[in-house]
Amino acid sequence: MKRLKVVSVFCAAALVIVSAAGVLAQTYKVAVSQIVEHPALDATRQGLLDGLKAKGYEQGKNLEFVYQTAQGNPAIAVQIAKQFVGEKPDVLVGIATPTAQALAASTRTIPVIFTAVTDPLGAKLITDLEHPGGNVTGLSDLTPVAQHVDLMQELVPDLKTIGVVYNPGEANAVALVDLLKSAAKNKKIQVVEGTALKSADVQGAARIIASEVQVIYAPTDNTVASAIDALIGVANQAKIPVFGGTTSFVENGAVASLGFDYYQVGVQTAEYVEAVLTGQKVGDIPVTFAKGSDLFLNQEAADNLGITFSEAMLERASSIKK
Partner 1 sequence: MSLFAFLGTLEIGLVYGLVALGVYLTFRVLDFPDLTVDGSFPMGGAVAATAIVAGVNPWLATGLAVLVGGMCGLVTAFLAVRCGILHLLASILTMIAAFSINIRIMGRPNMALLGEPTIFTAFDNMGLDPLYSHLGVIFLLVLFAAFFVTRLLASDFGLALRATGVNGRMVSAQGGSIGFYTYLGLALSNGLVGFSGALFAQSNSFADVTSGVGTIVVGLAAVILGQTLIPGRRIWVAVVAVIVGSILYRLAVGFALSSGMFGMQASDLNLVTAVLVAIALIAPKMKGKMRLKAVQARRAK
Q: Which residues contact partner 1 by CB under 8 A? A: 37, 66, 68-76, 78-83, 85-88, 97-98, 101-102, 104-106, 122-125, 127, 168-171, 174, 197
Shortest distance (Å) from residue 148 CB to partner 1: 22
Give the residue with the Cβ less far from partner 1, 43 or 100.
100
- Residue 75 CB contacts under 8 Å (≥ 6 apart), including other chains: none
Shortest distance (Å) from residue 153 CB to partner 1: 29
Give the residue with the Cβ less far from partner 1, 72 or 233.
72
Give the residue with the Cβ less far from partner 1, 178 or 303.
178
Shortest distance (Å) from residue 104 CB to partner 1: 6
Give the residue with the Cβ less far from partner 1, 21 or 75.
75
Shortest distance (Å) from residue 95 CB to partner 1: 13
Shortest distance (Å) from residue 305 CB to partner 1: 33
Give the residue with the Cβ less far from partner 1, 44 or 97.
97
Helix (H) or strand (E) holding 31: strand 28-34
Distance of alpha carbon 263 from alpha carbon 41, whole angstroms: 8
| Angle at CA of residue 103, ends 266 and 291, nearest 5° | 25
Distance of alpha carbon 276 from alpha carbon 285, whole angstroms: 9
Fill in the DSSP letter of residue 259.
Answer: E
Distance of alpha carbon 254 from alpha carbon 235, whole angstroms: 9
Distances (CA, A) of 81 to 39, 105, 110: 22, 9, 11
